[in-house]
Structure 1
Amino acid sequence: MQVDFYHLTVAPLDRVLPSIAEKVLANGGRLLIVAGDPVLRTRIDQLLWSYQPASFLPHAQAGGDWDSEQPALIAETVAPANGARNVALVDGLWRNEALDFDRAFHLFDEDSIGAARVAWRALGGREGVERRYWRQDENGRWAQVA
């Protein structure tokens, strides 16, 4: 199980999440996107339709008739109704249910860095969990620093 911690310092969630989602889907995977706040879930839903004029990223918010068919599903809880093996926790909150996936993306900013540090330390001693910490440089490029 791999957990990638993404510290959002230069590029906001609105630029980082679509890139992650595109890569997961391009590799034939499915993605569960988790955010507790309904306003954030609605913003993500709109973002995935409009982040680039020529893009199309098939997705839906959880709770519909076609959840199991969605390559990317936006949900309040870590319940992969779409059969996803990849989960993106986008509201800065770590959820241990993410450990049931093959890969977790934990995205956080300065407001939630304390909680991310607690999660990093807690996962450090878990067998079978590979942690990676990604930070942006001043140009917005990602570098693995741990």
Structure 2
Amino acid sequence: MAGLTEVFFYHLQGRPMEAALPQLLEKCLERGWRCVVQAASPERVDALDQLLWSFDEASFLPHGTDRQPDPARQPILLTTSDSNPNAAAVRFLVEGAVLEGFAGYIRVIHLFDGADPDELDRARAQWRVAKSGGHAVAYWQQSPDGRWQQR
């Protein structure tokens, strides 16, 4: 099973995506992994762009959007596309963004709002696709204190 992508599902409950995403991105960068974050709309890309500059007063996450020059140079690239111009090892899918194939990634991470029935249905469908493709899948749920626990 070498070469198969790990597909992780993060079930957002107690905290919004805007609180969870920066922490997960930081962990990826600490491992030396480039990331691409695929959102469902240009407006969400713009909101994430602002978030990653301002989520923490003491730091920021180096990033850019695919509408800016040199997307290939970005450690974190924000996009609505399923392309991978920055050769990311990890792809994040937020707010219902869907990826057809997982090849070429170490990890694909679905962040979904458990209170949104449409996002829940999309996550379940993507789980089935990942499992049927033989990928290693894992489900993570937030505890009451906001920590992630694998289920």
Deviations for 1:48-70, whole angstroms, at most 9, x for unmatched residues? 00000011211001122221110
The question of whether the paired residues in 1 share the 8 Å contact of 2:40 and 2:96 is answered with: no
1:117 deviates by 1.1
The question of whether the paired residues in 2 share the 8 Å contact of 1:68 and 1:81 is answered with: yes
What is the CA–CA distance in structure 2 between the aligned matches of 1:44 and 1:87, rounded to whole Å?
15
Task: Give the aligned partner of residue 52 of structure 1.
Answer: 56
DSSP 3-state at the match of 1:7 = strand
* 2:146 maps to which of 137, 140, 146: 140
1:137 deviates by 1.6
Per the normalisation by structure 1, the TM-score is 0.93
What is the CA–CA distance in structure 1 between the aligned matches of 2:53 and 2:69, rounded to whole Å?
19
Task: Give the aligned partner of residue 126 of structure 1.
Answer: 133
Aligned length: 144
CA RMSD, Structure 1 to Structure 2 (Å)? 1.2
DSSP 3-state at the match of 1:19 = helix
Task: Give the aligned partner of residue 36 of structure 2.
Answer: 32
Unaligned runs of 5+ in 1: none
The question of whether the paired residues in 2 share the 8 Å contact of 1:78 and 1:97 is answered with: no
1:15 deviates by 0.8
Which amino acid letter does the alignment assign opposite residue 137 of structure 2?
R
Give me the identity figure in percent: 36
The question of whether the paired residues in 1 share the 8 Å contact of 2:15 and 2:146 is answered with: yes
Per the normalisation by structure 2, the TM-score is 0.90
What is the CA–CA distance in structure 2 between the aligned matches of 1:100 and 1:28, rounded to whole Å?
16
Spell out structure 1 runs of 4+ moving beyond 2 A.
97-100
Task: Give the aligned partner of residue 61 of structure 1.
Answer: 65
What is the CA–CA distance in structure 2 between the aligned matches of 1:34 and 1:124, rounded to whole Å?
21
* 2:90 maps to which of 70, 86, 100: 86
1:126 deviates by 1.6
